[in-house]
Structure 1
Amino acid sequence: MPTIDMSGTTALVTGATSGIGRAVAVGLAQRGAHVLLAGRDRGRGEAAVRAIREAGGTADFLRADLRDEASARELARSAEALGGAVDVLVNAAGVFPFGPTESHGEADFDAVYAVNVKAPFFLVAALVPAMAERGRGAVVNVGTMVAEFGAPGMALYGSSKAALNLLTKAWAAEYGPRGVRVNAVNPGPTRTEGTAPMGEQLDRLAALAPAGRPATAEEIASAVVYLAGDAASFVHGAVLPVDGGRTAA
């Protein structure tokens, strides 16, 4: 069985300065990848890079505020200039405002779709054709369990990630025949810096699943790392629930 040894590969992880994205970056670095951590907060990004390097890994930080095609393509150019050919792309950046549909204005709508849909779309457009030319590569998109079922207050966030799930399958069909695997992970409630303000609401939401508790960022990251590596060599177009069983129950 193939092992997850990613020595000699370069991985770009968006949203990598905290939470799931940071845990993914750490996991990929532990397996030998040169990890490029992209995010808005330079202080947190450089701290994450230092931690990876101190643990023996290879990492660099790229500041990126993903909001449109231009910013996505600029990040792709910067990643290739710094790390060479990008072998793995992890679209972990995301914004998740909750609330009734009527509470969101056009600015909210545009901001959510810009980060959750537009940025991954144009990062794939910028980086994956070169992967296909080389005949190898992997993309892992990070979604959410509420892309799979209706939930009050989740219309905007859930619909954006549902779009990303469909893109995952479309890209698998488009690029899979040329050696690029595209898959997604749908996390359930996860305890991170971003979900800390939810407080007990996170625990109540997690209690609805068989696991009965929130995930750690590392538990979600382990699934992403699996899909990024050769151990998942025959996995194409999958949307893997890592939600404590919520969508199965």
Structure 2
Amino acid sequence: MMNGRLQGRRALVTGSTSNIGRAIAEAFAAEGAHVVVSGRSADRGKDVVEGIRARGGRADFVQADLDGTAEASRALARDAVAVLGGGIDVLVNNAGIYPGDATADTDEQTFDRVYAVNVKAPFFLTAVIAPAMAEAGGGAIINLGSWIARLGVPVGALYSSTKGAMETLTRASAAEFGPRGVRVNAISPGVILEPSPGEPSPGEVMMNGTPAGTLGDPRAIAHAAVYLAAEESAFVHGITLDVDGGRTTTAVIAA
């Protein structure tokens, strides 16, 4: 059922063929937005688009491999604008990769690739889309951070550093583009996994001792993204919204 909180908006969600990105694209479409679903897999992209259309939403797929080059980001922006028949009102920088290697096991090629995909690609996508939003009268950009950007864990140092960079870029971009009508905010998800009934996840232990006490569903992040894209958050600039079951802020002490 469409509630229309994003009625008439045109949105681009990167990395939206699965998990969090897919949930955001589906939620945006359910609220009336015309959504460009983007990712590397045409098959998965087609599946997301068909699902959205079957529920009465508007969506199109644009294939893209955001490798960190400025041209790849610019090409996606051009293709998305063409499909949407005009500008982009909402950009969600969600695409990212996660190698879980220890620091000593991370080679230079992996380091460069993770920063290219997780930081350079959204930086250059923002660089081309934010000024166009400002020229058109405004818009909203939502970046994806991560709880491990601020709570150190002994694995994934490379990934967590990229998410720390994205949260810093969120604040800097809010300062740069906010006065021109473009709101820039971030969401910091906790341990989020698509539901797999009957299959335990090793990530569950990472939510022990939190108020939620369990893994998060991608839809929790999608709800937050709808809020940051909609008019309800018109006075919200430069924040990182923790949607992590209390992982970074609260410790539940058992009696």
Equivalent in 139, 154, 162 of residue 160 of structure 1: 162
Deviates more, 1:4-13 or 1:210-219: 4-13
Corresponding residue number in structure 1 for 2:12: 12
Q: CA deviation at 1:199?
A: 5.2
Distance in 1, Cα, partners of 2:122 & 2:209: 30
Q: TM-score, normalised by structure 2?
A: 0.93
Partner SS state of residue 23, structure 2:
helix
Which residue identity is paired with 1:183?
N
Equivalent in 80, 94, 97 of residue 96 of structure 2: 94
Distance in 2, Cα, partners of 1:159 & 1:29: 32
Distance in 1, Cα, partners of 2:138 & 2:228: 14
Percent of counterpart pairs with the same letter? 50
Corresponding residue number in structure 1 for 2:238: 237
Q: CA deviation at 1:136?
A: 1.2
Equivalent in 96, 105, 119 of residue 103 of structure 1: 105
CA contact (8 A) 2:4 2:32 kept: no
Distance in 2, Cα, partners of 1:54 & 1:15: 21
CA contact (8 A) 2:40 2:64 kept: yes
CA contact (8 A) 1:27 1:225 kept: yes
Corresponding residue number in structure 2 for 1:72: 73
Q: CA 1:174–1:4 in 2, change beyond 3 Å: closer, same or farther?
A: farther
In the TM superposition, 1:1-249 aligns within 5 A as: 5-67=5-67, 68-83=69-84, 84-192=86-194, 200-249=201-250
Which residue identity is paired with 2:183?
R
Q: CA 1:31–1:141 in 2, change beyond 3 Å: closer, same or farther?
A: same
Q: CA deviation at 1:130?
A: 0.9
Distance in 2, Cα, partners of 1:29 & 1:144: 24
Distance in 2, Cα, partners of 1:4 & 1:154: 39
Deviates more, 1:85-94 or 1:148-157: 148-157
Partner SS state of residue 15, structure 1:
coil
Q: CA deviation at 1:99?
A: 2.4
Taking only aligned residues, the RMSD between alpha carbons, in angstroms, comes to 1.7
Distance in 2, Cα, partners of 1:127 & 1:192: 30
Structure 1, unaligned runs of 5 or more: none
Structure 2, unaligned runs of 5 or more: 251-255
Partner SS state of residue 87, structure 2:
coil
1:115-141 deviation per Cα after TM superposition (whole angstroms, max 9, x unaligned): 110010000011110111122100001
Distance in 2, Cα, partners of 1:209 & 1:105: 34
Runs of 4+ in 1 over 3 A off after TM superposition: none
Distance in 2, Cα, partners of 1:174 & 1:191: 33
Distance in 2, Cα, partners of 1:54 & 1:223: 24
Q: TM-score, normalised by structure 1?
A: 0.95
1:51-84 deviation per Cα after TM superposition (whole angstroms, max 9, x unaligned): 0001000000000000021111100010111112
Partner SS state of residue 202, structure 2:
helix
Q: CA deviation at 1:158?
A: 0.3
